[in-house]
Amino acid sequence: MCSSSPPARIICNDHVLANTLRGQMATIAPNCEVLSAPDDCSHAPFCRWLGESHLSNAGRVQAALIEAIETLERSRHAFKSRELGLLRQRLVVLSRELSGSSE
């Protein structure tokens, strides 16, 4: 699997089966995450499986930023506004700074 692509995620509510899958996937797809609990997800603030009830305040802020960025990106052709484009870019930078990401 390419290191620049996001990890594959398998959701399994059975903890015993999830542990078995982790062992098997380690050799087949080392970047694969097997999720059996909300804390297992490395991308927790953005994980739609978790829902907002499992997120901290920082996680909810991060998720809201991502949602705003995605909305601005989807509507950028409908609203050809330089200000909205600059706002989107600032939100992307802020989101990366908050997540500690160097992407």
**What's the pTM value of the predicted model, to 2 decimals?**
0.47
Q: Are residues 83 and 59 in the same domain?
A: yes
Task: Give the C-alpha separation, 84 to 75, whole Å.
Answer: 10
Tens digits of residue pLDDT in 53-102: 556 677 778 778 888 888 888 888 888 888 988 999 999 998 888 776 54
Query: Domain tally for the chain?
Result: 2
Same domain for 31 and 53:
no
Indicate if 72 and 103 belong to the same structural domain: yes
- pLDDT tens-digit map of 12-51: 777 888 888 888 888 888 888 887 766 566 555 555 555 5
With a CB cutoff of 8 Å and minimum separation 6, the contacts of 63 are 45, 46, 52, 55
Q: Verify that 49 and 85 share a domain, yes or no.
A: yes
**Spacing of C-alpha 103 from chain mean position:** 13
Boundaries of domain holding 26:
1-42
